[in-house]
Amino acid sequence: MPVTQGDTRRSILDAAQRIMSRKGFAAVGINEVLTAAGVPKGSFYHFFGSKDAFGEAMMRAYFTDYLADMDRVLAEPGRTAAERLMNYWQNWRETQSLDDCQGKCLAVKLGAEVSDLSETMRLALKEGTTAIVDRLERTISAGLADGSLTIGASARDTAEALYDMWLGASVMAKIHRNVGPLDTATTVTRQLLHL
């Protein structure tokens, strides 16, 4: 089966996500990504007008995949909304504690770095993280409806607070190189949802 331009573009984006989740955005050169993707060096500008446009495309591809996986976890049949939420956080804990707390979340790894470097990447991050909070809010609202959780604030405020806490805990897990902050986030999540 021949390789399509879409396959090549996706290979570049996938390689970039793997490398940048460990090294960051500014520390990675285009040649390193192209070598990892097995793509000729001259191909980059065929797919992306600049490193900034490439970064935006990478973030959008990352969030597309992330949100699809999140939707799968939050729609798991036969579970209450509270159970689905806690499964989501457990999955987060597992992925962020991999490789000595060098987790797979690009929002954690690149958020502060690229928000100051690129307005288009900042907007892609903003849209992606807002979509995550939207899903958390809907699931919290479902938990209120099915009686599996209760909260002391609005569903939106609770969703934002939980997401912010988990982002911060992920950064602290990287700093300390242990999962203690993620365990604390799990405990506080249970308290906020009255589980």
Q: Is residue 119 part of a domain?
A: yes
Q: Is residue 108 part of a domain?
A: yes
Range of lowest pLDDT (21-30, 59-68, 79-88, 105-114): 105-114
pLDDT at 146 over 80: yes
Q: Is residue 49 part of a domain?
A: no
Q: Is residue 159 part of a domain?
A: yes
pLDDT value at residue 4: 58
Q: Name the residue with higher pLDDT: 105 or 129.
A: 129
The CATH number linked to 123 is 1.10.357.10
Number of domains in the chain: 1
Q: Name the residue with higher pLDDT: 131 or 9.
A: 131
Q: Name the residue with higher pLDDT: 153 or 47.
A: 153
Q: Is residue 47 part of a domain?
A: no
Residue 73 structural domain: 55-193
Nearest CA to 183 among 106, 90, 98?
90
pLDDT value at residue 97: 63
Q: Name the residue with higher pLDDT: 67 or 28.
A: 67
User: 180-192 vs 155-176: helix axis angle to the nearest 10?
Assistant: 170
Q: Is residue 46 part of a domain?
A: no
Q: Name the residue with higher pLDDT: 32 or 99.
A: 32
Of 73-77, 92-96, 109-113, where does the model show the most confidence?
73-77
Q: Name the residue with higher pLDDT: 142 or 23.
A: 142
Q: Is residue 181 part of a domain?
A: yes
Place of tokens 């996938």: 14
- The Cα 155–Cα 48 span in angstroms is 39
Q: Is residue 171 part of a domain?
A: yes
pLDDT at 3 over 80: no
Of 4-18, 71-85, 165-179, where does the model show the most confidence?
71-85
Q: Name the residue with higher pLDDT: 117 or 151.
A: 151
pLDDT at 104 over 80: no
pLDDT value at residue 1: 44
